[in-house]
A and B are shown apart, each in its own frame.
Chain A
Amino acid sequence: MRVEFVEELLQTPQRAAGRWYWITLAAAATGVLGGVCAWGYQIGFGLGVTGLNQPVYWGLYITNFVFFIGISHAGTLISAILRLSGAEWRRPVTRIAEAITVFALILGGAMIVCDMGRPDRILNVLWYGRIQSPLLWDVLSVSSYLFASVIYLYVPLIPDIAMIRDRMTGHGFMSRFYRLLALNWQGTPMQQKRLERAIRAGAIMIVPLAVSVHTVVSYVFAMTLRPMWHSTIFGPYFVIGAIYSGIAALLIAMVIIRKALRLEAYLKEVHFRNLAYLLLVMFGLWLYATVGEYLVTGYGGAAAEARVLLSKVQEHYAWPFWGMLFAMLGAFLILAPVDRVVKALRLPIWKTRPLPAFLLASLGWCIWFSLARAGGFAKTPRLLLALTEYNQESLIAMLPSFLFGLVYLAALLLVILPSLRRDWFTISLYASLLVIVGMWLERFTIVVPTLTLPMLEEVPWGQYVPTWVELAITGSAVSAMLLFYLLFARFFPLVSAWEVAEGIERIDEARERLLQYVPEGVTKFTATHPGGPP
């Protein structure tokens, strides 16, 4: 049995070679090539070809940078925490997660290079680096995180590479490639002990490193004095968001890999369910931080901050802000068993099919969005007017749009939810897609609106419309993620064979461990009820 599934897992690279594999690979490579061309165009003509301007100095590139660095927490952090906490179900998941980390970090770094006016001078950061600059903190922590996660991806790969090496015949290039990477792994007890210790030490070291990475990413914003950036919650807020989007990315990758490589036997419903629960927990933390961030600044209602908040809630940036909230709450309602609550409360559910439901939702979204854009909510009934009299730009003034938004959302989801089948693959796929979109919009909502509203009131307000160059580079970053994954899948098993095999050996060990927790000598417990029949 054991031999069979190890063989099957080690065969996964060969499985990734069908017609669809090559078609996807070609498409992804074309996408990446397009992005590289766009970048070349930008280098030739300067950053003027983007939509960036004064005062919107940062736009899509920085949004993507924060987003990709966030995605990178999928991996290493999740897998490190799962390893450290001894979660046995982690075994088929960790490698998929660790690979995401490495690829997302590379893309995050690439986004910074795209954003630079003088990428040719990138080495100045080494020659003249100033440790006082938050950007240098980013350079240091992202590069050490990349280094650590490459190692953390590679070390647990060694036994699998060695097994592939042993199955290779001939002395071709590929056999030499695997022989080199296997580092003469023979599976001796000494080697196994060292591997075990290396993985454990790596897991311990990588957790604080990963936390530091997204903290200092947030410090790039929080260390300035700009309204709604200069915030003490930004460090934890970004870390929470990073783990949140990381889990979502991991779930999407798992759904695709499970289907494409026919790994249904290994990536089981329980893995999706556990990760979906983690996603739900992270949603709670994310909501807590978001409410804290917006409620505190809105209630205080200081002019500069309220200005930014207003632009997010009911003006130019209403679409990403509400898009973010809707996506996140939608993900929550999909993850949480809301339909059961609805059934228990005997609320009416309209039976709809998915496509009409989503069309209806989009139509409603368009109506809602155009209302928000037109500032329609400022013209509110008299009662609310009395409330808003105190401070025009305070949170209270934005209440009507909030109320309308939430009522609308609830109505919308009652239409959509019943159309989703409740199995954990579908649930986690839909919820994760919403979370990914929502987190990207959150990054955009953080980066751009603050910059459009300069602190000096005489400076004209900015506007930002990304150009095709930025969109092309953003799109090619997504293709690059796919391309990296496709290439990785071609050479290495995406589910760790030796770890899954090890997991089976642990079953008896787990029994022993559980027996430690119960009174000595008890192997079977029969319930007796005091006063019951003897």
Chain B
Amino acid sequence: MVRWGMVIDLDRCTACQACSFACAAENNCEFTSPAEAQLGRVLGWQEVIQKVEGAFPTAMQRFLPRPCFHCAVPACVKVCPVGATYKRSDGIVMQNFERCIGCRMCMVACPYDVRVFYWREYRRGVPPPLSEASNPTGPKPRPKGVVAKCQFNYHRLDRLKADLQAGRAPKYLYRKLRGIYEPGDELSEFAWARAVDLLMRYFWDCQEITAENFEGVMTGYLPACVQVCPPRARVFGDLSDPSSLVSELAHSPRAFRLLEELNSQPSVIYLQEEKCNVPQEAPHAG
């Protein structure tokens, strides 16, 4: 059984927020006004959040790119009254915008606060090219009053599946998948996950993107945030396959997951040498 997961290397991350922009473009996310953002009504499915630790002169700023964590035990799925949010068999926690009643119980239940709500009609009054979906292959624009979230670009993964079967995928994939998948066969989940891993390793290993390898690297099958990350801090793949790149990195001694004590078992694993813990002085001392 495939379980999609992501590793984010915080030692590589430069907090450039390319992931957030790629996510918004890929998923046809709306943008909110600065005034509303000030209120906390942000719409990004993937955001780089920050925290200032310590005080001058030892203050440190800590950045954390935060997609949905696609927990193995998702608190949001548990509480949804209408089943608008559900877990796919490959571990992706999905959101059905057509069914959601906007009660926000899932947002309240999510310990990571990753879900976003469509507070108003964001495309109203926007001129035509912008009022429509910029990415026709991505998820449809959301109506007002529903909850939305990162879905690990499931449409890209599904496209890879379809393209592999139709023979449209990059040629080297078929070569490397020989023995696991022959063109014309039924595509197994394992072969699908292996193909993602091959794409991921190709992207991870290439030193620079040139005209020759461009087609192999920028395939548009990996999640957009992974593919645009300049320092290549994100790795995507199947966590249930111990030989995949994402599993290898997930077993690194630098790996940790957020709020692990809650037993939500997130599928997003962070890597960091030492969590930057600036010793804090008690405010009242001195």
Question: Which residues of A pack against B, CB within 8 Å?
Answer: 45-49, 52-58, 112, 115-118, 121-122, 124-125, 127-130, 132-136, 139, 220, 223-226, 378-379, 385, 388-389, 392, 451, 454-460, 462-463
Contact = CB atoms under 8 A, between A and B. Distances in A.
A264 B84 CA distance: 55
Interface string B108-129: 1101110011111100000000
B102 A116 contact: yes
Nearest to B261: A225
Contact of A117 (B80, B83, B104): B104
Contacts of A57: 104, 107-108, 117
B82 A124 contact: yes
- Please classify the interface of chain B as helix (H, G, I), strand (E, B), loop, or mixed, using the class held by over half of its residues: loop
Contacts of A130: 80-83
B211 interface: no
A139 B81 CA distance: 10
Contacts of B25: none
Interface stretch (B36-44, B153-161, B179-187, B201-209): B36-44
29 contacts: A46-B144, A47-B102, A47-B120, A47-B145, A53-B39, A54-B42, A55-B113, A58-B104, A115-B104, A117-B103, A117-B145, A118-B100, A118-B102, A118-B146, A124-B84, A125-B82, A128-B83, A129-B82, A136-B81, A223-B109, A225-B75, A225-B109, A379-B284, A388-B284, A455-B111, A455-B112, A456-B111, A458-B64, A460-B49
B166 interface: no
Given A125-B82, A223-B79, A378-B284, A454 B113 contact: yes
A526 B36 CA distance: 82
Contacts of B12: none
Contacts of A112: 103
A368 to B, nearest CB: 22
B237 to A, nearest CB: 24
The size class of the interface chain B forms with chain A is: 35 or more
A144 to B, nearest CB: 16
Contacts, number: 151
A454 B104 CA distance: 15
A116 B62 CA distance: 35
Contacts of B64: 458
B82 A53 contact: no
B40 A460 contact: yes
A139 B262 CA distance: 28
A167 B147 CA distance: 57
| Most A-side CB within 10 Å, residue of B40, B111, B118 | B40
A392 B41 CA distance: 32
Given A46-B119, A456-B111, A224 B75 contact: yes
